[in-house]
A and B are shown apart, each in its own frame.
Chain A
Amino acid sequence: MMKRSTLLRIGLPAALAFLLLIAPLWIGGSPYIMHLAITAFYYAILAASWSLLAGYAGQFSFAHMSFMAIGAYAAALYGTYIRITTVATETCREIPFFGRWLVILDPIGISQSSQTNCLDLARQTMPAGSMIIQPSIWWGLLFGVVAGGLFGLLIGALVLRLRSTYLALFTIGFSEILRAVISAEIDITQGQSGLEMAPLFPNGITLFGHSYSASDKIPPYYVMLALFLVIMLILSWVVSSRIGLFIRAIREDQEASAALGVHVVRYKVLVFTITAMMAAAAGVIQGHYIGIITPNILIILQMSLVIAMAVIGGLENIYAAAIGAVILLFGLELLRNSFTIGPVTIDMTTWRLVAFGLVLMITLRFFRNGLISPLIDRVMRRNVARETVALRNAATAAATPTATTAGEGGSDE
């Protein structure tokens, strides 16, 4: 009995991960499906990490996409403005960096109006053979994750005292401010036109003896898959560790948890920070994959999608939220094709979202634990009710005088 559940707990995800790893062997030929898969992983990361924050910790934050955007923008700014040169430019702001120079391009110089920056000027005077290197995007990933984490820490600390509704209002507010700032500070962020981001592998890459170009979908698939798997591993560790235990206790009853020795502040801020970092990582990779980042990733629709995915999958189960995200993404894609009945053309790009909203409301009303997570629970907890009854019968048989009568049937929603 114990063995069976362990098998399910470890074997099932492992099998799934293996399937995803070898999936490109079959579908690798279709860039369209690969693209969908990458996007699905991206949403799955966001939905699963949001489910940790909202479902487990009970912090209904609407700022999750903001942390994603902060990560992506941090990486994009890094990619746009940081260069390494072998000789000093004398025109740009620069600092010595391990025998080379770390150059910060003048932000004003590359606004939309003029495409020249200080480096272009310096290039004319630099000695021949000196190199200008674009530093690796993987440092940008680190940079983005750290930035996301810092903002998560800050926001997490600010909202500590706020309860549900106020928290939701505040985080929506934060998200809107961020969007306004990014749209307005055109000198730095280039506003609505967005920042370009280098491909994940600018010079292509050779995998299993096959060389892929920068625009091939298979390398990004593996990068996003790896990120997804790593984050799911971290999430499942968090959930099963003391952190998961404590944040759920805090969600249930903050005062009672504190009275039992739980450091409420620490765990609330911690979970905000962790999930912000995860969202930021997803944002960085997705930004590099898509190739551009604009303030539109902060529109409410994006956050709505993530919330709806997590809710429909099952808010209180990270796996359910992730699976929900994948299924819904593919579902939405399948519903994309518009069709015509007689004189009316049904524009499915809109109507599928109407259906989505309806499903969201109905799920909330009638399936509080989502559609996927009850299925998981049924497998994982199927013997609990039976066990309860059996144990109680055993206890009654042993004629314990204080055998209890309540808790019949062990309702197992």
Chain B
Amino acid sequence: MSKQGDMQQELALDVNHLFKNFGGLQVLSDVNFKIRGPELIGLIGPNGAGKTTLTNILDGALKPSGGTVYLNGKRIDTLPPYLVARAGLGRTFQVTRAFRRMTVMENLLVPAMALHATASRREFEEKAREVLDFLTMSHLTNEYGRALSGGQQKLLELGRLLMLDPRIVILDEPFAGVHPRLMEIIYEWIYRVNDEGKAIILISHDMETIFTLSKRLLVLNYGDLIADGDPDVVKDDPLVKAAYLGEDEPAPASPAGPESAKFALPTRQPGQDDSADDEEGRVNA
């Protein structure tokens, strides 16, 4: 327990004045937040709000147009993704990205071996088996990634994160298109990882899960971080209601003006798959 206490002390993510624009499109403007210790944070916002872009910047895949990110005092916004991963930040992708023509075991070995330059395969196979047990996928150890269902591929990604063993994880819509039975396992996964002293940023459209799971809520609205705090407080924030929650909660008192109607429209972005609807279609294709 005392060890976990130390880890809480260490774990700190500082996001300062983050900006990002693609050409003329301002996707993030002046995003600031801090994470201290193993928090379980929900990140919500309408489609196209910039959640995935924020994830990509934190993970190093994109460079911010301005601002800095520090992980445990180390600046990570200038690092390439593989170094960010080694520094202790892991993420999943909105669209599942299992290695389709590698076995489940090999999928799990990749992050473990990337992290430890000297260790041999054998050392990690044991750990990988444990992870698979936890994900109730041990019978699939030698199957190829492509033979898994969409939900199982999502689980596999979570398994890879367990092998990477990062200090902070960002889950980009982990529940999209997942069978309810597998959802339980993801819940369990989140609690377990959180109990191990890791911080989690959970991006989801599913209000119910967000409110059950997270202790803190960030709301992103077209580039602006409009709220940050206790979910129950944030829920009643008029700004948030106007911008986002109005569409999900049939609450009568919502001051839905013409402004919010715009946000209620489901916006489809070019070049970016919305995984939720076609996820199952890809399975075993």
Binding site for B on A (CB under 8 A): 242, 245-246, 248-249, 251-253, 255-264, 316, 381, 384, 387-388, 390-392, 394-395, 400, 402-404, 406-407, 410-412
Contacts and interface: CB of A to CB of B under 8 A. Distances in A.
Contacts of B101: 248, 251-252, 316
Contacts of B60: 258
A334 B85 CA distance: 55
Contact of B140 (A242, A264, A388): A388
Nearest to B163: A260
B114 A262 contact: yes
A94 B182 CA distance: 75
Contact of A249 (B99, B143, B147, B179): B99
A407 B61 contact: no
A248 B99 contact: yes
Interface stretch (B24-32, B103-111, B226-234, B253-261): B103-111
Contact of A404 (B93, B137, B160, B283): B137
B75 interface: no
B121 to A, nearest CB: 8
20 contacts: A248-B101, A248-B106, A249-B99, A252-B99, A255-B61, A256-B93, A259-B90, A259-B91, A262-B114, A387-B139, A388-B140, A395-B138, A402-B184, A402-B185, A404-B182, A406-B149, A406-B179, A407-B143, A411-B147, A412-B147
B113 A388 contact: no
A42 B90 CA distance: 45
Interface of B: 59-61, 80-82, 85-86, 90-91, 93, 97, 99-102, 106, 109-111, 113-115, 121, 136-140, 142-143, 145, 147-149, 151-152, 160, 164, 179, 181-182, 184-185, 283-284
Given A258-B85, A260-B110, A407 B93 contact: no
A252 B181 CA distance: 28
Contacts of A249: 99, 102, 106, 110
A255 to B, nearest CB: 6
A307 B152 CA distance: 35
Contact of A261 (B86, B106, B139): B86
B61 A258 contact: yes
A256 B181 contact: no
A260 B142 contact: no
Nearest to A369: B101
Contacts of B152: 404, 406-407
B184 A259 contact: no
A245 B115 CA distance: 13
A8 to B, nearest CB: 15
B97 A253 contact: yes
A381 B142 CA distance: 9
Contacts of B80: 258
B111 A384 contact: no
A264 B142 contact: no
Nearest to A251: B101
B100 A407 contact: no
Contacts of A387: 139, 142
A264 B82 contact: yes
A261 B111 contact: yes
B149 A253 contact: no
B82 A248 contact: no
A259 B283 CA distance: 23
Given A260-B85, A260-B164, A410-B140, A253 B148 contact: no
Given A248-B101, A252-B99, A406-B151, A259 B81 contact: yes
Nearest to B170: A259
A21 to B, nearest CB: 30
A391 B129 CA distance: 13
B244 to A, nearest CB: 28
Contacts of B284: 411
A253 B182 CA distance: 24
A388 B142 contact: yes
B109 A260 contact: no
Contacts of B147: 407, 410-412
Nearest to A393: B139
A299 to B, nearest CB: 33
A392 B139 contact: yes
B162 to A, nearest CB: 12
| Residue of B59, B106, B143, B148 with most chain A CB atoms under a 10 A cut-off | B143
